[in-house]
A and B are shown apart, each in its own frame.
Chain A
Amino acid sequence: MMLIPCPWCGPRNQIEFTYGGDATLRRPPADAPESAWVDYVYLRDNPCGPIDELWYHGAGCRSWITVRRDTRTHDILAGASAAKPPADDRR
């Protein structure tokens, strides 16, 4: 069971959260070349090790937060912070 440290609610069970994926993705400007959009929509760093990622605390404070987690061990590496900028159009 993963305990995810919500900056507003404290450590909470993972089942209260929905995963939002890689937090480092940035939506390109509307006039960016097509290759930038292909990168943004499809390509992922998919790190084996620490990753900054988004979680949505749907069964708690309903905030998007950023968590740094090790994908090899599932250890949470740093206190979570409010997502910035707010999560874009991802589900």
Chain B
Amino acid sequence: MKRYSIFSLVGNALTGHAHWPLAWRNPPPKKHYDVVVIGGGGHGLATAYYLAKEHGIRDVAVLEKGWLGGGNTGRNTTIVRSNYHLDPNAHFYEFSLKLWERLSQELNFNVMYSARGVLNLVHTPADMDAAMRRGNAMRLNGIDAQFLSRDEIAALIPGLECSPNARFPIQGGLLQPRGGTVRHDAVAWGYARAADALGVDILQQCDVTGIRIERGRVTGVHTTRGDIGASRIGIAVAGHSSRVAAMAGVKLPIESHVLQAMVSEPVKPVLDTVVTSGAVHFYVSQSDKGELVMGGDLDFYNSYAQRGNLPRIEDVVSACLALFPGFGRLRLMRTWGGIMDMTMDGSPIIGKLPVKNLYMTGGWCYGGFKATPASGFVHAWTIAHDEPHPLNAAFTLARFGEGRAIDENGAGPYAWAH
């Protein structure tokens, strides 16, 4: 891999940018790999990278049905944070945030991590209690959390409607200063380039149509580019986990739902914090291009369509205008949808599946992007050791039947918890 640096940038600028090497190869599939990772989004590419980097397992292929980062990796709202209450989630997402903080150096690829702070607004006394409790739990777990008063919030975010006459009056907010945003495409590209440099084969336009199982263990996959043998298989296809696991006869506690996001036309910098509100189910940040990136609830019906319906867009925009009346003059430029694995407790499933040598990372509900580095790290560990890393030991598939659900919302067995 040719390293990117100020010298390579200047050198290539002087020669008209005509000599940049390809960031990764486009090899033909081999007959057999030690590990096949299904899914060429952030999670799958990170899994392959950490397999090669941390465990020396370089006979690895990543199979992607479309193009790299064309699924949920390129559809999320780029927010990273670790403001969780329950221990398994807090430890896992904090590990992930620590990986984000040095990921650009690790991959020699600028992923544009911006620690601009993630603020959860508090509108009611019940919100206040919940935010205090969560903030205290975070601090006990060594995670940064600060409670801000309404006046502090008004000073931090000038455009926010903080008057007591607001439709949803703001009482305060819980801020995680190290939370922020990361450029999502760069995450896929950075992991792909670094994994490729370590010998991983990245196979695009390679849709897995079946999983071959002999005597209770996986032996390979059928794909649109032919059959590929595999000693071990990792599934990283959140949104479609039920479909792919079903190829191995495994039924998951997951429903697939569509979540929409949208951007306004680009404007000059107006918002330098990620602002979220649980009460109105809304979150917004401003991208480096100047667009306001926002989202809210699921559409709340099962879907694999990667597009949603207008009522949810209206809800999100209404919430936006209640909090930021000044944004009312902006036009909405683009909306899109992504498919979420919604698990029955709102927490992911990372670990071994009931078929020998078959593993998965998925069930991200709609928090998968921020988990990307840690998900790849512990998924790779689980594949390499055939047992979970301490950070994903709680995220088993069996936990649902064992009464060990990790129910961050305290909502019970319910796939629409968010």
Contact = CB atoms under 8 A, between A and B. Distances in A.
Tell whether A and B belong to one assembly.
yes
B252 interface: yes
A46 B242 contact: yes
B256 A71 contact: yes
B301 A19 contact: yes
Interface stretch (B28-36, B117-125, B304-312): B304-312
A42 B400 contact: yes
B302 A43 contact: no
B309 A46 contact: no
Contacts of B302: 21-22, 46-47, 51, 53, 71
Interface residues of B, number: 25
Closest 5 CB pairs of A and B: A46-B242, A42-B253, A38-B401, A42-B400, A48-B304
B304, B311, B344, B416: most-surrounded residue (chain A CB, <10 A): B304
A44 B253 contact: yes
Interface in B287-316: 300-305, 309-311
A43 B255 CA distance: 9
A1 B270 CA distance: 32
Contacts, number: 69
Given A43-B251, A45-B251, A21 B305 contact: no
A80 to B, nearest CB: 14
Contact of A44 (B242, B300, B301, B303): B242
B415 interface: yes
A74 interface: yes
A46 B400 contact: no
Q: Give the contact-size bracket for chain A.
A: 20 to 34
A1 B309 contact: yes
A44 B254 contact: yes
A21 to B, nearest CB: 7
Interface string B240-264: 1011000000011111100000000
A48 B256 contact: yes
A59 interface: no
Interface of A: 1-2, 14-15, 19, 21-22, 34-35, 38-39, 41-48, 51, 53, 69, 71-74, 91
Interface of B: 240, 242-243, 251-256, 300-305, 309-311, 344, 400-401, 413-416
A43 B349 CA distance: 13
Given A41-B344, A42-B413, A69-B301, 8 more contacts: A1-B310, A41-B400, A44-B252, A45-B242, A71-B305, A72-B304, A72-B305, A74-B309
Contacts of A38: 400-401
Nearest to B315: A15
B235 to A, nearest CB: 14
B248 to A, nearest CB: 15
Contacts of B401: 34-35, 38, 42
B309 A71 contact: no
A21 B415 contact: yes
Given A15-B311, A35-B401, A38-B400, A46 B305 contact: no
A33 to B, nearest CB: 11
Contacts of B400: 38, 41-42
B415 A44 contact: yes
